[in-house]
Amino acid sequence: MNSEMSLDGLHQMQEQVDHWIRTVGVRYFSPLTNMAVLTEEVGEVARIIARTDGDQSAKPGEPLDLADELADVLWVVCAIANQHGIDLADAWRNNVLKKSVRDSERHRNNPKLTTN
C-alpha cells in the first residue's frame, strides 16, 4: 500500500455530509448532541459485534447490518470534524505518522502478538 495514498475520499465524505446537513438536515446538531449521537452509533456497532462475533444471540428479526452502522459512525465523525474545522485527511496523515514513529517496534516486540 502506498504510504501517501489518496485521501480525496475523506474530503469528499466531509463535503457530502456538509452539503446534506445544510440542504436536507436544515443545520448541524449541537456538538454535544453529535457526541451523544456518535456514542449511540458506536453502541449499535458494539451490539451487532456482540451478536455476530460474541456470545450473545440476536433477537428474532433484529437487524445486524454492521456496514450500515459503521457508515453511521463515519457520518457523525465527519459532522463533528466539520463543526470543528478539522480536515480529516490531514488528521489521518498526522495520525499515521504518529503511530509509525511511536509504535515502530512496539507491536513487533509484543509476545502476545507473536504467539499462535
* All domains in the chain, ordered by first residue: 9-88 (1.10.287.1080)
Mean pLDDT score of the chain, rounded to an integer?
92
What mean pLDDT is predicted for residues 48-77? 96
How many CB atoms sit inside 10 A of residue 18's CB? 17
pTM of the model: 0.85
Helical packing angle, 88-102 and 8-23, nearest 10°: 140
- Do 14 and 21 touch, CB atoms closer than 8 A? no
Rounded alpha-carbon distances, angstroms, from residue 61 to 42, 70, 100: 21, 20, 43
What pLDDT is recorded for position 116?
65
One-letter amino acid at 32 equals L
| Cβ contact 57:88 at 8 Å | no
